[in-house]
Amino acid sequence: MRDAIDLLGDTLSPGNNLTIVGDDAAAPIVRADRTSLTQILTNLLTNAAEALPSGAQINVAVYTVSISHSMAKSLSLSVGLYCRLTVEDNGTGIPAAEISKIFDPFFTTKPQGKGTGLGLSVVAGLAQSWGGTATVDSTEGMGTCFTIYLPVAEKHLQAAQ
């Protein structure tokens, strides 16, 4: 997961700052393949870069988190260990009226020829296909934070015990 992010730092337009933090020690190993991870990250980072005035900031964080009963319920996940990826920007933000449509296929606010509206539906679809989920939190004019939860692989759990 971590090296997939490092590789993608280069895809951002110049002038944007990208920071990456995470719990290297626990280096979460997720039940997902590299192509899916790359696709998730590319879509989120591209969106963030497109929503930013130049010189703005994108923060990426990867942590291992334990999802409790109450959280699992609200996220429609099973209880357990997850890799939580957050991609946060201080760009345009998303208007409250649009937030519920943001993961819909073909929902785009970008001009014809620029946006397909498929990026986030692919992100959500991939996360769900690996037993995880995608959520968004945004304030118009302040910024946006996408959170992806992916279950930590069974093999890795056994190794840690």
Ligand X SMILES: Nc1ncnc2c1ncn2[C@@H]1O[C@H](COP(=O)(O)OP(=O)(O)O)[C@@H](O)[C@H]1O
> In sequence order, what DSSP letters do the residues of 123-149 get, joined into one string?
HHHHHHHTT-EEEEEEETTTEEEEEEE
List binders of ligand X among 33-62 (CB under 6 A). Answer: 43, 47-48, 51
Which of 143, 102, 141 lies closest to 123, judged by CA? Answer: 102
Q: Is 16 in the site for ligand X (CB under 6 A)?
A: no
Q: Is 22 in the site for ligand X (CB under 6 A)?
A: no
Q: Is 151 in the site for ligand X (CB under 6 A)?
A: no
Q: Is 132 in the site for ligand X (CB under 6 A)?
A: no
Name which position in 34, 73, 110, 155 contacts ligand X (CB under 6 A).
110
- Nearer CB in complex with ligand X: 36/121: 121
144 DSSP β-pair partners:
89, 138
**How far apart, in whole angstroms, are the C-alpha atoms of residue 45 and residue 64?**
20
Q: Is 91 in the site for ligand X (CB under 6 A)?
A: yes
- Nearer CB in complex with ligand X: 16/144: 144
Please report which helix (H) or strand (E) contains residue 4, including its range.
helix 2-8
Residue 121 sits at the vertex; the CA angle it makes with 91 and 144, to the nearest 5 degrees, is 20
Please tell me the count of residues contacting ligand X according to CB under 6 A. 22
Question: Which residue ranges make up the site for ligand X (CB under 6 A)?
Answer: 43, 47-48, 51, 89, 91-94, 102, 107-110, 115-121, 144
